Amino acid sequence: MARPVIAIVGRPNVGKSTIFNRVIGDRLAIVEDKPGVTRDRIYGIGEWNGRSFSIIDTGGIEIDGEDHILRLVRAQAELAIEEADVIIFMVDAKAGLTHADDEVAQMLFRSHKPVVVAVNKVDNMNRMDDVYEFYGLGFGQPIAISGSHGTGIGDLLDAAVEKLPELDDEEYDEDIIKVALIGRPNVGKSSLVNALLGEDRVIVSDVAGTTRDAIDTPFERDGQRYVLIDTAGMRKRGKVYETTEKYSVMRSLKAIERADVVLVLINGEEGIIEQDKHIAGYAHEAGKASIFVVNKWDVVEKDDKTMQRFEQTIRDHFLFMSYAPVVFLSALTKSRLHKLLPVVNHVSEQHSLRIQTHLLNDVVSDAVAINPPPTDKGKRLRINYVTQVATKPPTMVIFVNDPEIMHFSYERYLENKIRAAFDFEGTPIRLFTRRKSDED
Q: Which residues are annotated as part of the binding site for GTP?
A: 10-17, 57-61, 120-123, 183-190, 230-234, 295-298
Local structure of residue 135 (DSSP, 8 states): G
Contacts of residue 266, defined as CB under 8 A and 6 or more positions apart, other chains included, come to 183, 187, 272, 276, 292, 293, 294, 295, 314
Cis amide leading into 342 (omega within 30): no
Q: Report how far Cα 234 is from the mean position of its chain's Cα atoms.
A: 13
Residue 325's identity, in one-letter code, is: P
Q: Indicate the SS3 state at residue 248.
A: helix
Q: Indicate the SS3 state at residue 289.
A: strand
Q: Report how far Cα 349 is from the mean position of its chain's Cα atoms.
A: 22
Distance CA 126, CA 123 (A): 8
Annotated binding site: 10-17, 57-61, 120-123, 183-190, 230-234, 295-298
For residues 339 and 329, the answer to whether their CB atoms sit within 8 Å is yes
For residues 236 and 184, the answer to whether their CB atoms sit within 8 Å is yes
The closest of 216, 219, 225, 217 to 176, measured between CA atoms, is 225
For residues 36 and 60, the answer to whether their CB atoms sit within 8 Å is yes
SS percent in the chain: helix, strand, coil, step 5? 40, 20, 40
User: How is 183-220 classified by DSSP, letter by letter?
Assistant: -STTSSHHHHHHHHHTS--S---SSTT---S-EEEEEE
For residues 222 and 181, the answer to whether their CB atoms sit within 8 Å is no
User: 131 vs 103, 106, 141, CA distance in Å?
Assistant: 19, 19, 9
Per the document, the length of the chain is: 440
User: How is 169-185 classified by DSSP, letter by letter?
Assistant: S-SS-TTSEEEEEE-ST
Local structure of residue 71 (DSSP, 8 states): H
E-strand spans in 239-308?
A: 261-267, 289-295
